[in-house]
Chain A
Amino acid sequence: MSPLPTTVTDELWTAVLDGDDLRAGDVVLAALDDGVDAEAVLLDVIGAVQRRVGQEWAADRITVAQEHTATAINDRAVAVVGRRARVEPTGARVTVSCVDGEWHALPARLLAEVLRLRGFRVDYLGAQVPTPHLVEHLRRTAPDAVALSASIATRLPTAHAAILACRAAGVPVLAGGAAFGSDGRFARLLGAEGWAPDARTAADLLATGDLRPSGGQGQAVDDLPHLADQEYTLISRNTSRLVRTVYGGLEQRLPAMARYTDQQRRHTAEDIDHIVAFLVTALYTGDDELFPAFLAWTASILEARHVPPGVLDPALDLLGAELRDFPRASRLLAEAPRHATAPERDGQDG
C-alpha cells in the first residue's frame, strides 16, 4: 500500500470548502487508484479533513454554514469510497448508531465504513437515533455488539439510557466519541462494556470478540447513586425557567444590553442555555471536571470571535444565586473560574 501523500488531504480540503462534491469524489478515487488503502483514505484523509473543519470553525475562520457544507461533502466522499471498495460480509454483526439528539454523524459513518471494509456485517442507523428505535432494531437483529457514538457531552444522559437499554437486551456496547471523554471515563461510568478513542482501535476491539454483555436490568440510579439527591432531576426539568430568570437578571445588571441587537440577544440567551445544559450534565455524571472544561472551551470560542470571556461571569453568578439550595450545583458554580475583563459584548461577535 502506498504511503499517504500530504497533498491529498489538502486537495480534499479545498474541494470540501468549495462545496464541490464531484472534485472531492475525484480526489478520493485518485488516492485509491494510486494504491492508498481505503481505510487510510477514510480515516487519514476524510477524517483528517473533518477534524480540520472543526478546528477552523472553533477559530472563527469558517462559518457554521460552511461547516455544514463541508460535512455534507465529506459524507459524499465516504459514500464514494464505500462504493468502490466492496467486501463480502463474513464477520460479526455490528450496529453503529448515534445517540438520540447527536447530529455529528460523520465519525460514526466512518466507523461503519471501516468495519464494512474489514468484513463485519454492519447496520448503520445514522444520526440521532431515538432509543426505542435502537432497541427495536436490536430485538430484531440481535447483533453481536452496538457501537454507540456521541460527540457532545450534553448527550451523556441520553447515552446512558441507550446503554441501559442495550444491557437489558443483552447486547454489549462499545462507546465512542468525544462525549465519553478523552480517556473514556464516561463510558466506564455509564456501564458501556467497551470504549475506543478512534475507529481503528474500535475495529480492532470488535474483531477480538472479547466484548461480552455484562447482563442485568439496572437503572440509571444504580450506576449513579448521587442521582437520588434529585438535583439533576429538579434542575433539568426547569431549564427554561432558569434561562429566563438569568437572562432577566443580566438585563438588570448590564444596562448595555438595552443596546444589544437581536442577534446579540439571541446569542446571550443561547449561551445561558448552554451553560445550564452543561451544568445539568455535570450534575448527572457527578464529575467535577466536566463543567470547568466546558467553560474553558467556551472561553476559547469566544476569544476567537473577539468576545471577552468574562461576558459569562455575571450569568454564572446569577445561576449560583438561583440554585443556592442545591449543594452540588452551587459548588460547581462557585468553583468555576471568573475573569477580570469587562462583562459586555461589543458589536463584533458573530
Chain B
Amino acid sequence: MPVTRNDLPVEGLDLTAQLAAAHAALRAERARSGLLEELSAALLGSLNVTRCAQITAELAATHLADAATVVLPASRGRHVTVSAVRGAQAVHAILTGDVDEVPGLEEALLGFPPVPSRWLDARSTPGWLLPAGMAPVGSVVVVPLPGHGTPAGALVLLRAVGSTAFDEDDERVARQFAGRAGLAVSAAQLHDRQSAITDTLMRELLPPCVGRLPGFDFAARYRASEDHERIGGDFYDVHPDEDPDGETLVVLGDVCGKGLDAAVLTGKIRNTLRALLPLAQNHLLVLSLLNTALLSTDSTRFATLALASVRRTPSGVHLRLTCGGHLPPLIVRADGTVEEAPTRGTLIGALPQVTASTAAVTLAPGDACLLYTDGITEAMGGPFGDEVFGEDRLTAVLGECGGMPAEALVERVQMLASDWIGVRDHDDMAVLAITAPRGRHLRAVGGHGRGRYTR
C-alpha cells in the first residue's frame, strides 16, 4: 500500500524503484559470490602453478572481461603468461616484451597497490599482451595476485572496444577474485619450491638401480613403510669394480627406525661405505671402521648390515658374505635347495667392538643368493590377519624358485610379502638377489658382450 500525502502516492514510486534496485544489487552480489565460489572450488583441486593460472585466466575471461592474462613472477629472467579469450582454452607463453611497457603491470608484480583503471590508457596496451583472437582493447584493469608474503603474479583484464568499460565496482570484484587466485597460486609455488628441495636431497637417498654386470645379475626391490614415501630405514648399494674380474661390493642394511630420520642416516652409512671401498677385501675391517664412525655421530641409532663381495670365476660366481647383526643371506640352488649362509656378526653402531665371520660360497649357473631385511620375514598379516610371514614361509617360497632370474626372484618375494600384509601397516622392506645366469657366464667376457645392459 503506497504511502500518501495530500492523496498523492509520492514515496510509492521511490519504493518500487528502490526495491527493484535492491533486487538487482542482490542478484549481482549473488553472481559475484557464485563466481568466487566457483573459482575457489576449481583452485582447491590443484597444486600446480600453471593449472591454477589457467583456471584463473579462463574464469576471469568468462565472467569479468573479454580476455584475461595471468603474468607469473619472473623465473630465470622470464615471465610465464597464461592467457584466455572468452570461450577458448587458456594458452601458455613466455612474455616477450618488457613488463614496464604495460602501465600498472610492473607495480602489480612488485606487490604495490593496484593502479586505478582510469589511469591506464587502453590504447597503449602493447600487442604482445593481447591473446590471439582478442579484439582491439577498449578498457584495461591490472591487479596484483597477492601471495603469502611475496606477490604471486598479476592479472590483466581486457575488455574490447564496444564492451562496457571497467568501473570501480568491477575493479573491486576483480581484486577479490585476484585475492583468492593469488593465494592458490602462491600455495602452488611454495609447494613447487619444497618439492624441488626434496627432490635434490632425495636423489642421494633413493635406492639405486641395479642391473647386470659381466658374469652375474642383480635385482632389488624396496618398499618404504610409509607408502607415500620412497625412502626409509632400509637401504642397499652395489659398487662394481672397474676391473670386470675384480670384486663387486654389495651392501644391504637396516637402520633402526623408519621415516626421514632413518633415511638420512642410511645416506651417511652409504657414503661412509663408499669411502671404505679400498678396504673391501677385509669385511671385518670395513664393519669396524663403520662402527667407529657411527658411534662418533650424535645419533643413537644402530644398523644391521650384510656385505657380499661378488666375483666371477671360471668355476662360477664366488661370494664372500659377512653379516653384521643382520639376517644371514639365503642361498637358493637351481634345484630348489635353500641354505643359510654360515656367517654371523654383531650390530653396527651399538658397541665399541664388532665381531663377524665371513662365509665363502660359490654359485653355480642357476643358483642365487638372497639378501633381505626383516620387513619381509616380520610382515604381519596373511589370510587370518595375525600371522608373521616368517623365515619358514620364505624358505618354502624360495624352494619353488630354483633357477629363476634375479628380477623374477625379487618380484616373487616382494609380491608375496606385500600380499601377505594387504592394507595393514608394515616396516620397510628390501630384498636383493645375486644370481649366476644359466649357461651364459662365458658370453660376457670382457664386459662388452651382448649381455651387458643395466636398467
Contact = CB atoms under 8 A, between A and B. Distances in A.
A207 B364 CA distance: 50
Contact of A19 (B385, B386, B403, B453): B403
Contact of A140 (B48, B412, B438): B48
B404 A240 contact: no
A33 to B, nearest CB: 14
A72 B407 contact: yes
Contacts of A217: 41, 44-45
A68 B46 contact: no
Contact of A63 (B48, B400, B411): B400
B400 A240 contact: no
A130 B383 contact: no
A163 to B, nearest CB: 14
Interface in A97-117: 100-101, 103
Interface in B373-431: 382-386, 400-401, 403-405, 407-409, 411-412, 415, 418
B446 to A, nearest CB: 16
A170 B45 contact: yes
Contact of A269 (B42, B384, B451): B384
Interface stretch (A3-11, A225-233, A241-249, A286-294): A241-249
B50 interface: yes
Given A132-B228, A217-B41, A139 B405 contact: no
A240 B386 contact: yes
B51 interface: yes
A273 B383 contact: yes
Contact of A170 (B46, B191, B386, B440): B46
A169 B46 CA distance: 5
Interface in A27-71: 63-65, 68-69, 71
B404 A75 contact: no
B450 interface: yes
Interface string B41-60: 11011111011000000000
Contact of A68 (B50, B385, B408, B453): B408
Contacts of B33: none
B412 A68 contact: yes
A25 interface: yes
Contacts of B227: 100, 130, 132
A241 B443 CA distance: 54
Contacts of A244: 384-385
Contacts of A273: 383
B163 interface: no
A108 to B, nearest CB: 15
The residue in B230, B407, B415 that gathers the most chain A C-beta atoms within 10 A of its C-beta is: B407
B408 A72 contact: yes
Contacts of A19: 403-405, 408, 438
Interface string A119-135: 00000000010101100
B37 to A, nearest CB: 12
A94 interface: no
Contacts of B384: 240, 243-244, 247, 269
Interface string B328-345: 000000000000000000
Interface in A68-95: 68-69, 71-73, 75-76, 79, 83
Contacts of A178: none
Given A19-B403, A65-B404, A139 B47 contact: yes
B195 interface: yes
A239 to B, nearest CB: 8
A138 B45 CA distance: 12
A222 interface: no
Interface of A is mostly: helix
A142 B412 contact: no
Contacts of A103: 411, 415
A306 B168 CA distance: 83
Contact of B401 (A65, A130, A269): A65
B451 A139 contact: no
Contact of B48 (A21, A73, A130, A142): A142
B440 A22 contact: yes
A238 to B, nearest CB: 10
Contacts of B41: 217
A101 B422 CA distance: 8
A168 interface: yes
B51 A21 contact: no
Contacts of A247: 383-384
Interface in B59-98: none
Contact of A270 (B383, B401, B438): B383
A124 to B, nearest CB: 12
A96 interface: no
B45 A133 contact: no
A270 B411 CA distance: 20
Contacts of B385: 239-241, 243-244
A240 B424 CA distance: 11
A187 interface: no
A206 interface: no
B408 A22 contact: no
A21 B383 contact: no
Nearest to A23: B440
Interface string B9-51: 0000000000000000000000000000000011011111011
B424 to A, nearest CB: 9
A230 to B, nearest CB: 18
Given A22-B440, A65-B412, A72-B411, A139 B191 contact: yes
B405 A170 contact: no
Given A65-B401, A273-B383, A133 B408 contact: no
Contacts of A76: 407
A269 B404 contact: no
A122 to B, nearest CB: 17
Contact of B51 (A73, A130, A142): A142
A173 to B, nearest CB: 14
Nearest to A263: B396
B195 A169 contact: no
Contact of B450 (A22, A83, A170): A22
Contacts of A100: 227
Contacts of B409: 68
Given A139-B47, A243-B383, A68 B411 contact: yes
A136 B411 CA distance: 25
B320 to A, nearest CB: 27
Contacts of B51: 142, 170
A311 interface: no
8 contacts: A22-B451, A63-B400, A68-B412, A69-B403, A71-B411, A169-B48, A240-B383, A241-B385
Query: 10 closest pairs, A vs B, by CB?
Result: A240-B385, A132-B228, A72-B408, A269-B383, A273-B383, A72-B407, A68-B408, A168-B45, A130-B227, A69-B408
